[in-house]
Amino acid sequence: MVEEYVSRMKYYHRLDMTGNGRVLAKYIPVAETQTSSIEGKLLMEIDRTGAVERAGIQADTENRLAMEYVALGAFDLAVEFFEKAMKAKQAAGNQFDWETIAHNLAVTYEYLGQLDKAHALRQQLYDRAVKSGSTARQAEALMELALVKAKMGFSPEAERDIIRKVVPLFRRAKDEAGRASAYRTLADIYTLQHKYPEAQWFLVQAKTIVDKEGIMDQLPEIIFNLAETKKHSGNPRVAIEEYKVADDLAKKDHIMGMQLAIQDALGSLYHQAGDYNGAASALNRYDTLKNILFKGEKPVDN
């Protein structure tokens, strides 16, 4: 159960809301045991809006509900609500929101391993970005498409797309956050192939950018992934220190899934090193987090 939750939340945090967030942002679930009440709260809010606002807000709500169904693991409902929201945005002519929800649906298909469907959506989004003439949009769409290609077994092509196309596009757009994301994605592709030294090198490049530019929202995942590559490369001492830094960042940003994964990894590494007190401490923290999450012992953000 915990492993599935941690995996789902990696994808959940890639999802985006639509609308202005006036109604939706305050309903981020605080525990998995409370997520089932989100639908009722959001639908009640729709009833408080006027008829003119209702259609747009309902589509935003459907997208938001689908996101929570991803968090809960109810993927049939997630796909259903994403598709409803996309149809409504298409009917309203809101192409920007349609593309945001299409991105969310592609992420969901990616998690489910339905890579042909994910690829089709990513290709459609890339074609739209090319037509728009936006350099940054093209880079973002091609980067996401490359990751799906890698998961389909076409890693060399995916690597070339990012190195030869995506990174130059982000440079041209002067989008340093995008360039850091491209290096992180490239690291993900190398990690899929168990090429940990290469993954580590590109994570360091991403960290250099975010440190210089102050792009703090990317830092927790970069440090966590650095710790993961160090662990898999047989460098447990450095991995432990990286995990500790990542844990501090994850606590600050309330990234629950990452905190669980960190304590799980630390427990194993401490045990392997013969530090049984450290292992016990990590296990206790892991159990505390698990109880907060699944038993609702106290509120905690995703």
Cβ–Cβ < 8 Å for 146, 106: no
For 115-120, the CB contacts below 8 A with 24+ separation are: 115/148, 115/151, 115/152, 118/148, 119/145, 119/148, 119/149, 119/152
- Give the model's pLDDT for residue 300: 44
Selection from 10-14, 19-23, 39-43, 162-166 with the highest mean pLDDT: 162-166
Structure tokens at 123: 């290709």
* Mean pLDDT score of the chain: 89
The CA distance from 228 to 265, in Å, is 9
Least confident of 11-25, 77-91, 116-130, 139-153: 11-25
For 254-302, what is each residue's pLDDT tens digit? Answer: 888 999 999 999 999 999 999 999 999 999 999 999 888 877 655 444 4
Using the predicted structure, report yes or no on whether residue 3 has a pLDDT greater than 90.
no
The CA distance from 79 to 66, in Å, is 7
* Choice between 25 and 242, residue whose per-residue pLDDT is larger: 242
Structure tokens at 225: 């992934």
The CA distance from 160 to 186, in Å, is 10
Provide the whole-model pTM: 0.89
Using the predicted structure, report yes or no on whether residue 165 has a pLDDT greater than 60.
yes
137-152 in b/e form (b: 16+ CB < 10 A) is: bbbbbbbbbbbbbbbe
What burial class does residue 301 get, using C-beta atoms within 10 Å of its C-beta: 0-12 exposed, 13-18 middle, 19+ buried?
exposed
Percentage of residues in the chain having pLDDT higher than 90 = 74
Cα–Cα distances in angstroms (integers) from residue 296 to residues 32, 125, 224, 291, in the given order: 8, 39, 26, 7
DSSP secondary structure letter of residue 48: T
For 20-47, what is each residue's pLDDT tens digit? Answer: 665 555 344 444 445 556 667 766 766 6
pLDDT band at 253 (very low <50, low <70, confident <90, very high): confident
